[in-house]
Protein backbone atom coordinates (compact mmCIF):
# COMPACT_ATOMS: atom_id res chain seq x y z
CA UNK A 1 0.00 0.00 0.00
CA UNK A 2 2.88 2.32 0.91
CA UNK A 3 4.50 1.54 -2.48
CA UNK A 4 1.29 2.45 -4.32
CA UNK A 5 1.13 5.73 -2.39
CA UNK A 6 4.74 6.51 -3.26
CA UNK A 7 4.07 5.75 -6.94
CA UNK A 8 1.07 8.08 -6.94
CA UNK A 9 3.07 10.89 -5.33
CA UNK A 10 5.91 10.42 -7.84
CA UNK A 11 3.54 10.34 -10.81
CA UNK A 12 1.70 13.47 -9.69
CA UNK A 13 4.99 15.26 -8.99
CA UNK A 14 6.44 14.38 -12.38
CA UNK A 15 3.23 15.45 -14.12
CA UNK A 16 3.02 18.81 -12.38
CA UNK A 17 6.73 19.67 -12.45
CA UNK A 18 6.83 20.88 -16.09
CA UNK A 19 3.62 22.85 -15.57
CA UNK A 20 5.13 24.58 -12.57
CA UNK A 21 8.24 25.46 -14.56
CA UNK A 22 6.13 27.14 -17.28
CA UNK A 23 3.67 28.85 -14.96
CA UNK A 24 3.77 32.60 -14.32
CA UNK A 25 5.35 33.59 -11.03
CA UNK A 26 2.34 34.05 -8.74
CA UNK A 27 1.47 37.14 -6.78
CA UNK A 28 3.82 39.70 -8.21
CA UNK A 29 2.71 42.13 -10.89
CA UNK A 30 5.69 42.86 -13.13
CA UNK A 31 6.40 46.21 -14.78
CA UNK A 32 7.64 46.33 -18.34
CA UNK A 33 8.95 49.58 -19.80
CA UNK A 34 8.32 49.97 -23.53
CA UNK A 35 10.48 52.57 -25.27
CA UNK A 36 9.75 53.20 -28.91
CA UNK A 37 10.89 55.71 -31.48
CA UNK A 38 7.46 56.82 -32.57
CA UNK A 39 3.83 56.40 -31.60
CA UNK A 40 2.62 53.30 -33.38
CA UNK A 41 -0.59 53.75 -35.38
CA UNK A 42 -1.78 50.41 -34.01
CA UNK A 43 -1.45 51.88 -30.51
CA UNK A 44 -3.56 54.88 -31.49
CA UNK A 45 -6.20 52.51 -32.84
CA UNK A 46 -6.10 50.30 -29.77
CA UNK A 47 -6.56 53.18 -27.37
CA UNK A 48 -8.84 55.35 -29.46
CA UNK B 1 3.53 46.59 -31.15
CA UNK B 2 0.20 44.81 -31.05
CA UNK B 3 2.16 41.69 -32.07
CA UNK B 4 4.28 42.14 -28.93
CA UNK B 5 1.23 42.39 -26.70
CA UNK B 6 -0.37 39.43 -28.41
CA UNK B 7 2.84 37.45 -27.88
CA UNK B 8 2.74 38.29 -24.17
CA UNK B 9 -0.91 37.24 -23.88
CA UNK B 10 -0.13 33.89 -25.51
CA UNK B 11 2.53 33.35 -22.86
CA UNK B 12 0.08 34.08 -20.05
CA UNK B 13 1.01 37.70 -19.37
CA UNK B 14 -2.15 39.78 -19.17
CA UNK B 15 -1.90 43.56 -18.88
CA UNK B 16 -3.43 44.79 -15.64
CA UNK B 17 -3.40 41.32 -14.10
CA UNK B 18 0.15 40.03 -13.81
CA UNK B 19 1.95 42.64 -15.91
CA UNK B 20 1.87 46.42 -16.36
CA UNK B 21 3.40 48.02 -19.42
CA UNK B 22 4.66 51.59 -19.15
CA UNK B 23 4.76 53.03 -22.67
CA UNK B 24 7.08 55.81 -23.69
CA UNK B 25 7.07 57.09 -27.28
CA UNK B 26 9.53 59.61 -28.69
CA UNK B 27 7.15 60.39 -31.57
CA UNK B 28 10.05 60.68 -33.97
CA UNK B 29 12.04 63.11 -31.76
CA UNK B 30 15.14 61.13 -30.98
CA UNK B 31 16.43 63.85 -28.61
CA UNK B 32 13.61 62.93 -26.21
CA UNK B 33 14.80 59.34 -25.84
CA UNK B 34 17.38 59.80 -23.02
CA UNK B 35 14.77 61.45 -20.75
CA UNK B 36 12.15 58.81 -21.58
CA UNK B 37 14.63 56.03 -20.83
CA UNK B 38 15.54 57.69 -17.52
CA UNK B 39 11.83 57.84 -16.63
CA UNK B 40 11.52 54.08 -17.08
CA UNK B 41 14.59 53.51 -14.90
CA UNK B 42 13.09 55.72 -12.16
CA UNK B 43 9.89 53.67 -12.35
CA UNK B 44 12.04 50.64 -11.48
CA UNK B 45 10.59 48.51 -14.26
CA UNK B 46 11.63 44.86 -14.29
CA UNK B 47 12.58 44.89 -17.96
CA UNK B 48 12.76 47.49 -20.74
CA UNK B 49 11.74 46.67 -24.31
CA UNK B 50 13.36 49.18 -26.64
CA UNK B 51 13.45 49.57 -30.36
CA UNK B 52 14.54 50.22 -32.97
CA UNK B 53 18.20 51.35 -32.74
CA UNK B 54 18.03 54.81 -31.09
CA UNK B 55 15.69 53.70 -28.26
CA UNK B 56 17.86 50.62 -27.66
CA UNK B 57 20.96 52.83 -27.39
CA UNK B 58 19.12 55.27 -25.08
CA UNK B 59 17.97 52.43 -22.82
CA UNK B 60 21.48 51.00 -22.67
CA UNK B 61 22.87 54.43 -21.75
CA UNK B 62 20.26 54.80 -19.01
CA UNK B 63 20.91 51.52 -17.18
CA UNK B 64 23.46 48.76 -16.94
CA UNK B 65 21.39 46.69 -14.51
CA UNK B 66 17.75 46.56 -15.67
CA UNK B 67 17.39 43.89 -18.41
CA UNK B 68 16.81 45.37 -21.87
CA UNK B 69 15.14 43.52 -24.74
CA UNK B 70 15.94 45.37 -27.94
CA UNK B 71 13.71 45.05 -30.98
CA UNK B 72 15.06 45.66 -34.46
CA UNK B 73 18.30 47.32 -33.34
CA UNK B 74 20.89 47.59 -36.10
CA UNK B 75 24.32 46.05 -35.66
CA UNK B 76 24.26 45.76 -31.82
CA UNK B 77 27.85 44.52 -31.58
CA UNK B 78 29.28 47.40 -33.63
CA UNK B 79 27.24 49.89 -31.63
CA UNK B 80 28.57 48.47 -28.37
CA UNK B 81 25.19 47.32 -27.08
CA UNK B 82 26.46 43.76 -26.63
CA UNK B 83 29.79 41.99 -26.84
CA UNK B 84 28.60 39.19 -29.12
CA UNK B 85 25.37 37.91 -30.62
CA UNK B 86 25.78 34.44 -29.15
CA UNK B 87 26.63 35.62 -25.65
CA UNK B 88 25.56 39.22 -25.10
CA UNK B 89 27.12 39.28 -21.57
CA UNK B 90 25.67 42.60 -20.29
CA UNK B 91 22.04 43.55 -19.59
CA UNK B 92 21.00 43.69 -23.26
CA UNK B 93 19.56 40.96 -25.46
CA UNK B 94 16.77 40.66 -28.03
CA UNK B 95 16.41 41.01 -31.76
CA UNK B 96 18.79 42.59 -34.20
CA UNK B 97 17.73 44.39 -37.37
CA UNK B 98 20.86 43.55 -39.39
CA UNK B 99 20.01 45.17 -42.68
CA UNK B 100 23.46 44.64 -44.01
CA UNK B 101 25.27 45.09 -47.28
CA UNK B 102 23.51 42.10 -48.83
CA UNK B 103 19.99 43.36 -48.05
CA UNK B 104 20.72 46.93 -49.10
CA UNK B 105 22.42 45.63 -52.25
CA UNK B 106 19.29 43.63 -53.09
CA UNK B 107 17.17 46.73 -52.58
CA UNK B 108 19.28 48.73 -55.02
CA UNK B 109 19.21 45.89 -57.55
CA UNK B 110 15.40 45.70 -57.34
CA UNK B 111 15.22 49.44 -57.95
CA UNK B 112 17.47 49.02 -60.99
CA UNK B 113 15.41 46.09 -62.22
CA UNK B 114 12.36 48.36 -62.21
CA UNK B 115 14.15 51.42 -63.58
CA UNK B 116 17.10 50.04 -65.58
CA UNK B 117 18.35 53.47 -66.68
CA UNK B 118 18.67 54.81 -63.15
CA UNK B 119 22.14 56.15 -62.35
CA UNK B 120 21.71 58.91 -59.79
CA UNK B 121 20.11 57.77 -56.54
CA UNK B 122 19.41 59.99 -53.53
CA UNK B 123 19.76 58.32 -50.14
CA UNK B 124 17.69 59.82 -47.35
CA UNK B 125 19.13 59.14 -43.89
CA UNK B 126 18.86 60.44 -40.34
CA UNK B 127 22.40 61.02 -38.98
CA UNK B 128 21.02 61.07 -35.42
CA UNK B 129 20.16 57.39 -35.88
CA UNK B 130 23.29 55.29 -35.29
CA UNK B 131 21.75 52.50 -37.38
CA UNK B 132 21.43 54.85 -40.36
CA UNK B 133 25.07 55.91 -40.03
CA UNK B 134 26.13 52.28 -40.38
CA UNK B 135 23.63 51.68 -43.19
CA UNK B 136 25.05 54.60 -45.21
CA UNK B 137 28.41 52.85 -45.18
CA UNK B 138 26.74 49.71 -46.57
CA UNK B 139 24.78 51.69 -49.15
CA UNK B 140 28.02 53.22 -50.44
CA UNK B 141 29.61 49.79 -50.76
CA UNK B 142 26.53 48.35 -52.49
CA UNK B 143 26.38 51.30 -54.91
CA UNK B 144 29.97 50.74 -56.00
CA UNK B 145 29.13 47.25 -57.23
CA UNK B 146 25.79 48.35 -58.70
CA UNK B 147 27.22 51.19 -60.74
CA UNK B 148 24.95 53.90 -59.32
CA UNK B 149 25.96 57.34 -58.12
CA UNK B 150 24.73 58.35 -54.69
CA UNK B 151 23.68 61.63 -53.22
CA UNK B 152 23.55 61.18 -49.45
CA UNK B 153 21.04 63.56 -47.89
CA UNK B 154 20.61 63.93 -44.17
CA UNK B 155 17.58 64.96 -42.14
CA UNK B 156 17.74 65.02 -38.34
CA UNK B 157 14.18 66.21 -37.99
CA UNK B 158 11.12 67.17 -40.03
CA UNK B 159 12.46 70.74 -40.29
CA UNK B 160 15.29 69.46 -42.50
CA UNK B 161 13.02 67.77 -45.03
CA UNK B 162 12.26 70.80 -47.21
CA UNK B 163 15.99 71.48 -47.62
CA UNK B 164 16.58 67.84 -48.50
CA UNK B 165 13.78 67.90 -51.07
CA UNK B 166 15.24 71.07 -52.62
CA UNK B 167 18.68 69.45 -52.85
CA UNK B 168 17.20 66.39 -54.55
CA UNK B 169 15.36 68.50 -57.09
CA UNK B 170 18.50 70.57 -57.77
CA UNK B 171 20.67 67.50 -58.33
CA UNK B 172 18.04 65.91 -60.56
CA UNK B 173 18.25 62.51 -58.91
CA UNK B 174 16.45 59.68 -60.69
CA UNK B 175 15.45 57.53 -57.72
CA UNK B 176 15.23 57.66 -53.96
CA UNK B 177 16.39 55.22 -51.30
CA UNK B 178 14.92 55.91 -47.84
CA UNK B 179 16.70 54.28 -44.90
CA UNK B 180 14.61 52.82 -42.08
CA UNK B 181 14.25 55.46 -39.37
CA UNK B 182 11.46 56.41 -36.95
CA UNK B 183 11.47 60.09 -37.86
CA UNK B 184 11.46 59.42 -41.60
CA UNK B 185 8.68 56.87 -41.22
CA UNK B 186 6.64 59.33 -39.18
CA UNK B 187 6.84 61.76 -42.11
CA UNK B 188 6.35 59.12 -44.80
CA UNK B 189 3.38 60.94 -46.34
CA UNK B 190 5.48 64.07 -47.00
CA UNK B 191 8.27 61.99 -48.49
CA UNK B 192 5.87 59.99 -50.68
CA UNK B 193 4.19 63.21 -51.80
CA UNK B 194 7.53 64.73 -52.80
CA UNK B 195 8.53 61.55 -54.67
CA UNK B 196 5.20 61.51 -56.53
CA UNK B 197 5.40 65.19 -57.53
CA UNK B 198 8.97 64.75 -58.77
CA UNK B 199 8.26 61.38 -60.41
CA UNK B 200 10.87 59.58 -58.31
CA UNK B 201 10.69 55.81 -57.89
CA UNK B 202 11.56 55.00 -54.28
CA UNK B 203 12.89 52.03 -52.31
CA UNK B 204 12.23 51.83 -48.56
CA UNK B 205 13.19 49.66 -45.62
CA UNK B 206 9.72 49.63 -44.09
CA UNK B 207 6.42 48.55 -45.63
CA UNK B 208 4.45 51.36 -43.95
CA UNK B 209 6.20 53.81 -46.25
CA UNK B 210 5.01 51.88 -49.30
CA UNK B 211 1.49 51.82 -47.91
CA UNK B 212 1.82 55.63 -47.75
CA UNK B 213 2.72 55.83 -51.46
CA UNK B 214 6.36 54.73 -51.79
CA UNK B 215 7.12 52.42 -54.70
CA UNK B 216 8.58 49.38 -52.95
CA UNK B 217 10.16 48.15 -49.72
CA UNK B 218 12.47 45.32 -48.88
CA UNK B 219 13.49 44.42 -45.34
CA UNK B 220 12.91 42.21 -42.31
CA UNK B 221 9.36 41.42 -41.26
CA UNK B 222 8.89 43.59 -38.20
CA UNK B 223 5.75 41.93 -36.86
CA UNK B 224 7.56 38.61 -36.39
CA UNK B 225 10.29 40.35 -34.41
CA UNK B 226 7.87 42.08 -32.05
CA UNK B 227 6.19 38.76 -31.33
CA UNK B 228 9.59 37.19 -30.63
CA UNK B 229 10.41 40.03 -28.23
CA UNK B 230 7.61 38.79 -25.98
CA UNK B 231 9.38 35.46 -25.56
CA UNK B 232 12.50 37.25 -24.31
CA UNK B 233 10.44 39.22 -21.78
CA UNK B 234 8.77 35.98 -20.65
CA UNK B 235 12.11 34.27 -20.07
CA UNK B 236 13.59 37.23 -18.20
CA UNK B 237 10.57 37.60 -15.92
CA UNK B 238 10.91 33.92 -15.12
CA UNK B 239 14.49 34.41 -14.03
CA UNK B 240 16.67 34.12 -17.13
CA UNK B 241 19.61 36.50 -17.42
CA UNK B 242 19.85 38.64 -20.59
CA UNK B 243 23.53 37.75 -20.81
CA UNK B 244 22.57 34.10 -21.36
CA UNK B 245 19.97 34.74 -24.07
CA UNK B 246 21.53 34.82 -27.56
CA UNK B 247 20.49 37.63 -29.88
CA UNK B 248 18.34 36.59 -32.82
CA UNK B 249 18.75 37.99 -36.30
CA UNK B 250 15.86 38.40 -38.73
CA UNK B 251 15.08 35.31 -40.75
CA UNK B 252 12.13 36.52 -42.81
CA UNK B 253 12.27 39.39 -45.27
CA UNK B 254 9.42 40.86 -47.26
CA UNK B 255 9.12 42.67 -50.55
CA UNK B 256 6.13 45.00 -50.86
CA UNK B 257 5.32 46.75 -54.14
CA UNK B 258 2.82 49.56 -54.66
CA UNK B 259 1.48 49.10 -58.20
CA UNK B 260 -0.70 52.19 -57.88
CA UNK B 261 2.45 54.25 -57.40
CA UNK B 262 4.20 52.42 -60.24
CA UNK B 263 1.30 53.26 -62.55
CA UNK B 264 1.34 56.92 -61.49
CA UNK B 265 5.08 57.04 -62.28
CA UNK B 266 4.52 55.36 -65.65
CA UNK B 267 6.62 52.36 -64.63
CA UNK B 268 6.08 48.71 -65.47
CA UNK B 269 7.29 46.54 -62.62
CA UNK B 270 8.93 43.47 -64.19
CA UNK B 271 7.22 40.12 -63.72
CA UNK B 272 10.43 38.77 -62.14
CA UNK B 273 9.87 41.16 -59.23
CA UNK B 274 6.12 40.75 -58.99
CA UNK B 275 6.43 36.99 -58.47
CA UNK B 276 8.87 37.61 -55.61
CA UNK B 277 6.63 40.17 -53.89
CA UNK B 278 5.07 39.21 -50.57
CA UNK B 279 2.42 41.86 -51.03
CA UNK B 280 1.28 43.94 -53.96
CA UNK B 281 -0.71 47.07 -53.25
CA UNK B 282 -3.13 47.63 -56.13
What are the tens digits of pLDDT across the range B165-192? 999 999 999 999 999 998 999 999 999 9
Q: Which A residues 2-31 touch B at CB under 8 Å?
A: 23-25, 28-31
Instruction: Tell me whether A48 touches chain B (CB under 8 Å).
Output: no
Pick among A19, A30, A32, A39 to test the B interface (most B CBs inside 10 A):
A32
- Alpha carbon distance B192, B215 (integer Å): 9
Report the complex ipTM. Answer: 0.81
Cα B23 to Cα A32, A44, B31, B38, B247: the distances in Å are: 8, 12, 17, 13, 23
pLDDT per residue over A38-47, tens digit each?
755 443 333 3
The mean pLDDT of B68-74, rounded to a whole number, is 93
pLDDT per residue over B238-276, tens digit each?
999 999 999 999 888 999 999 999 999 999 999 999 999
Give the residue on A whose Cα is nearest the Cα of B17.
A29
pLDDT per residue over B15-67, tens digit each?
999 999 999 999 878 899 999 999 999 999 999 999 989 999 999 999 999 99
**Of B33-37, B102-106, B138-142, B176-180, which gets the smallest average pLDDT?**
B102-106
Strand order in the sheet with B19-25: B19-25, A30-36, B47-51, B68-73, B92-96
| Claim: this prediction has a pTM higher than 0.90 | no
- Alpha carbon distance B9, B14 (integer Å): 5
CB contact under 8 A, A31 and B46: yes
DSSP state of B129: S
| pLDDT > 90 in chain B, percent | 79
Pick among B13, B19, B20, B23 to test the A interface (most A CBs inside 10 A):
B23
Amino acid sequence: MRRIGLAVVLTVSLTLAPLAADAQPTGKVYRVGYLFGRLCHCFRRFHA
Amino acid sequence: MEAFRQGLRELGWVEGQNIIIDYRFAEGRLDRLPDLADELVRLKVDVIVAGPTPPAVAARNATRTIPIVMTNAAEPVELGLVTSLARPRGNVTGLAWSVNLEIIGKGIEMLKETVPKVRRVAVLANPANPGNVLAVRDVKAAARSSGVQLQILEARGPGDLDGVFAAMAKERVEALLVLADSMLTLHRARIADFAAKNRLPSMHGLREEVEAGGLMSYGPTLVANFRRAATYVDKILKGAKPADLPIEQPTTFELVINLKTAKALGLTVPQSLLVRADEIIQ
